[in-house]
Amino acid sequence: MKNTLENFLILGGIYHIVSYFPLALNEYLSNLLSWLLLGLFFVFCLLLLTSRGQKLFSIFHNRYIRLKNYLSAFGVVEYMCLILIFIPGIIYGYLSAQAQYNGTEPPILPDFYLYFVQYGYFVMLGLALIIATYLSFIKKSK
């Protein structure tokens, strides 16, 4: 259980990479596959809380350390996206649906937040990859 946080980061990195594959499909299949992948992500999150789930990711800790560093970097970005995009999106969607039900104007989403999230995503991704490269190649040689 000592590698639980690293395993969650690796799982987040795998999900971050795999979640781009459904974008090549048509809209219906893309939505269906995206929800399926999100469901599998949460199932694997619950599986990681058991000792059997910990063994799934032990190969990354023993053999593929560089891959573990990069997947962990993508995992950090994925979890930050969940915090900065998914949760506010749920709140905004709830408030919009409630306003529509009550017959009032839906709340206005500030444009600066969308720009902040968009640029913040690329900055986080760049920093995470730079740190993963440092840990994988430069720190090892010192």
Residue tagged 């980061």 (tokens): 9
pLDDT value at residue 29: 83
Alpha carbon separation from 50 to 14, 15, 56, 101, 109 (Å, rounded): 19, 19, 11, 42, 40
What pLDDT, on the 0 to 100 scale, is given for residue 54? 75
First-last CA distance in the chain:
30
Q: Can you give the pLDDT at residue 140?
A: 62
Name which of 14, 132, 19 is nearest 75 in CA terms. 14
Inter-CA distances, 68 with 11, 13, 47, 54, Å: 10, 9, 19, 14
DSSP symbols for 44-75: HHHHTTSHHHHHHTHHHHHT-HHHHHHHHHHH
Q: Which of 5, 65, 8 is nearest to 42 (CA)?
A: 8
What pLDDT shows up at residue 1? 55
pLDDT of residue 130: 93
Q: Rounded to two decimals, what is the model's pTM?
A: 0.77
Q: Consecutive sets of 10 residues in the chain, 142 residues long: mean pLDDT of each?
A: 79 86 78 87 85 75 84 90 84 87 82 84 92 84 56
pLDDT at res. 122? 92
- Comparing CA positions, the residue from 111, 109, 118 lying closest to residue 88 is 109
**Burial class of residue 102, CB neighbours in 10 A (0-12, 13-18, 19+):** exposed
Predicted local distance difference test score (pLDDT) of residue 125: 92
11: exposed, middle or buried (Cβ count in 10 Å: 0-12, 13-18, 19+): buried
